[in-house]
Structure 1
């Protein structure tokens, strides 16, 4: 049993610290003070001199005085994040000679002067992200000779000052207003991680990075690059690279990455890739993770090596649920990781004779890709034994037939062939056993004799028709006919290509023969299911995967034709225009008289609705929400207390609920 004297010695430091703890703060060993959400405009006074770690985030602090940190010689970590500090007084941190971690993120700083961080010779981590910094003095960081990490992302910088920090290991200047990075900006011989994402860069100067021989991580995502930077050939020690979000990048060449033998993580998501060069990942023998989501992949035989690599490689595919095919139509929306060799149209069966084929007109051409050789069609395509592509149909003179040039690649499914009908319109010639616009429907079997057993009835699939680039018409007639005692229809659809895959459910009457789903994303894959109203989704629902078309200029511009002038075409529109003008004038007078009567009625009874109430916006404003229905505010938003938080793009914008507290930043 320990003596009372020993217990007193053990409890003495904690008791001493607790006695000097300011009000509304919590003090604990080892010499750490937490002053969180105090709702005070100043730094707490009366802190213990032995304090090593001081957390004063989310306090509503608006300004700092020159002596607010006096008497804290042992302080090593200071967290002032998520306050409302707009400026830093001269030499405000000079009393903190031993400070190693300073967090000023999520404040309202506008400028960093050459005297903001005087005296911090041992500072290792400086976090200034999520402020409003527009200008940094060229000598602002020169005295920070021990600095290891500098975070300046999410500010309003238009230029980066020359950085001469010989010990710096991490630099993040992402999501600023920097259009170009000048040569001589980085004098950082030991830099290991550089993040320059979201800067609207259309190129990266090779001389800018060639001195960063120690670089291990490079993030140049969400810029405007149209090609892979040549500077990558100089960065042989790179282990992590992100090119994601450079939507102008449509091709990747293996020679651009030949020096990156040490690469372990590669992000090529959200580019404009239809395919990847064969054995592209063989250049990275140490690769552990790859992300290729949100690319319009054309899943044909040229991509079979990628599917095989995914199943055999030890590297993991990140965001696999968002890595899907866009083309051809039979593979649109399917997970790339789950495709089989036969799904890619590779030659595995002999040609199919068209002597017993049935014909159906191809009203809307299927999407195509410029990277795939055209498939042909008056006769069945010929398969080459030494190639994975289909040989074009040629005439006796050795020229390609007109259908070979007009038919979209892989327009017809299940062995069907494409040709022009008598009216020069595309149509699919379907083999025996298949029918439909693209030969996508399995035809019911025909009994060969009266004694033969009748073939089982197959459930009829729902048909999808494109209406522009953002709408899909769902034909419900077949489904209604296949069901008895149907009270209503439950239609569910979800986007398979984008980040938000939450399903949208609609309740439709059983008498509705077709329904048009509108306001969809163009060039995206959707999963559409139809089931009986009142039941939850189950395996008996009819489900299809459809692909919206890519918006083109032809879908928006009016079609003009050069024809001789016709008197009827001139007079009739003129008469109709005159009638419409007269109707509009009459409607305007009626509307004015009605508004006057409503105004008198409001004056008599004191009631009325504002336009905000009619649009559903006023309720959002009264609840403190800054965004109306149907609008999205990317990035950050301001809460009622003035703090800035990260708002997910897909969160409901008119909830009336208080904004949750932002997560705490993590220290390295």
Structure 2
């Protein structure tokens, strides 16, 4: 073997060449080691493992868009790192207890415009980061005491235009981030005084954090006395389109309305002639049917 020293080229003794490997016989482990490092890094990077469930579209890794896909069920294979899901306007007829299992980072869930009649207890329990839940235009009939449990960060709830007939008195218990509730266009006939309480202490002290409540277009004739006393933060209350009795049982509401900041409040009444006259200002209620009970 030849070796260079300054400007002179010499031949290396054979006994000095025994430990030198020719270039064509050099080991090729280095490239494989580098590839292994890259694979390990990719495996540990959450965005690299995100998959988009068929037939949805995922324009960004944190979102899943499945609107108008004629889906009959919630698609499988949704990544645990997804933050926003839109399943609106499909043909989903049922949810299972595991439909949204493990989606602890989900912040927005839209599943409006489907045919879902119920939400299994515990189906939403993993959605601890959820802030907006849009379930409008389905066929939901009951909100149990466990339906919404686990949604500790929920701020906006849209369950309008369903077929809700009953809401458990503790349905919203623990949801202290809740600010807006859409319940218009359902089949509610009555409510419990504690229905919208999100915080309670020893079953004696109850408080609601709801600021905007939509109860229009239901079947309620009266509201329970005391329900609004637990809602000191309430800013907007929508009650139009209900067959209010507008009698003395609603007198407490007249007093509450006088103290509130609302203006031009009216009672959409269903009353026998000669009292029935459509929309009646609350200020006229004592003159109407309270005289008949004297």
Matched, 1:164 2:207: no
1:603-636 Cα offsets, whole Å, 9 max, x none, are xxxxxxxxxxxxxxxxxxxxxxxxxxxxxxxxxx
Q: Which has the higher contact order (CA 8 A, sep 6+)?
A: 2
For 1:14 and 1:69, locate their aligned partners in 2 and report how far apart those are by CA, in whole Å.
19
Which structure 2 residues correspond to residues 38-53 of structure 1 after superposition, within 5 A? Answer: 38-53=69-84
Q: Does the aligned pair in 1 maintain the 2:267–2:279 contact within 8 Å?
A: no
Which structure 2 residues correspond to residues 258-297 of structure 1 after superposition, within 5 A? Answer: none
Counterparts in 2 of 1:101 and 1:250: CA distance versus 1, 3 Å: closer
Secondary structure of the equivalent of 1:26? coil
Displacement after TM superposition at 1:203 (Å): 2.3
Counterparts in 2 of 1:231 and 1:203: CA distance versus 1, 3 Å: farther
| Aligned residue among 158, 161, 172 for 1:127 | 158
TM-score where L is the length of structure 2: 0.67
What is aligned with 1:487? none
What is aligned with 1:233? 258
| Aligned residue among 225, 228, 237 for 1:183 | 225
For 2:175 and 2:256, locate their aligned partners in 1 and report how far apart those are by CA, in whole Å.
29
Displacement after TM superposition at 1:97 (Å): 0.9
Aligned residues: 220
Q: Does the aligned pair in 2 maintain the 1:36–1:56 contact within 8 Å?
A: yes
What is aligned with 2:52? 21
Counterparts in 2 of 1:241 and 1:77: CA distance versus 1, 3 Å: farther
For 1:181 and 1:127, locate their aligned partners in 2 and report how far apart those are by CA, in whole Å.
21
What is aligned with 1:195? 238
Q: Does the aligned pair in 1 maintain the 2:242–2:268 contact within 8 Å?
A: no
Secondary structure of the equivalent of 2:58? strand
| Aligned residue among 259, 267, 277 for 1:248 | 277
For 2:122 and 2:244, locate their aligned partners in 1 and report how far apart those are by CA, in whole Å.
36
Displacement after TM superposition at 1:30 (Å): 6.7
Q: Does the aligned pair in 2 maintain the 1:14–1:28 contact within 8 Å?
A: no
Matched, 1:140 2:148: no
1:458-515 Cα offsets, whole Å, 9 max, x none, are xxxxxxxxxxxxxxxxxxxxxxxxxxxxxxxxxxxxxxxxxxxxxxxxxxxxxxxxxx
What is aligned with 1:427? none
Q: Does the aligned pair in 2 maintain the 1:14–1:29 contact within 8 Å?
A: no
Counterparts in 2 of 1:151 and 1:46: CA distance versus 1, 3 Å: same
Q: Does the aligned pair in 2 maintain the 1:82–1:105 contact within 8 Å?
A: yes
Which structure 2 residues correspond to residues 580-659 of structure 1 after superposition, within 5 A? Answer: none
Secondary structure of the equivalent of 2:109? strand
Counterparts in 2 of 1:181 and 1:23: CA distance versus 1, 3 Å: same
What is aligned with 1:87? 118
For 1:106 and 1:68, locate their aligned partners in 2 and report how far apart those are by CA, in whole Å.
19
What is aligned with 1:3? none
Secondary structure of the equivalent of 1:233? helix
Instruction: Please report the RMSD computed on the Cα atoms of aligned residues, expressed in angstroms.
Output: 2.8
Secondary structure of the equivalent of 1:207? helix
Secondary structure of the equivalent of 1:194? strand
Counterparts in 2 of 1:140 and 1:15: CA distance versus 1, 3 Å: closer
Displacement after TM superposition at 1:242 (Å): 5.1
Which structure 2 residues correspond to residues 95-114 of structure 1 after superposition, within 5 A? Answer: 95-114=126-145
Counterparts in 2 of 1:30 and 1:170: CA distance versus 1, 3 Å: farther
Displacement after TM superposition at 1:82 (Å): 0.6
Q: Does the aligned pair in 1 maintain the 2:100–2:126 contact within 8 Å?
A: yes
1:526-546 Cα offsets, whole Å, 9 max, x none, are xxxxxxxxxxxxxxxxxxxxx
TM-score where L is the length of structure 1: 0.31
Which structure 2 residues correspond to residues 417-456 of structure 1 after superposition, within 5 A? Answer: none
For 1:250 and 1:138, locate their aligned partners in 2 and report how far apart those are by CA, in whole Å.
30
For 1:184 and 1:230, locate their aligned partners in 2 and report how far apart those are by CA, in whole Å.
12
For 2:56 and 2:154, locate their aligned partners in 1 and report how far apart those are by CA, in whole Å.
25
Displacement after TM superposition at 1:161 (Å): 2.3
Displacement after TM superposition at 1:144 (Å): 1.4
For 1:141 and 1:103, locate their aligned partners in 2 and report how far apart those are by CA, in whole Å.
16
Counterparts in 2 of 1:244 and 1:71: CA distance versus 1, 3 Å: same
1:439-469 Cα offsets, whole Å, 9 max, x none, are xxxxxxxxxxxxxxxxxxxxxxxxxxxxxxx
For 1:90 and 1:251, locate their aligned partners in 2 and report how far apart those are by CA, in whole Å.
41
For 1:123 and 1:200, locate their aligned partners in 2 and report how far apart those are by CA, in whole Å.
31
Q: Does the aligned pair in 1 maintain the 2:165–2:189 contact within 8 Å?
A: yes
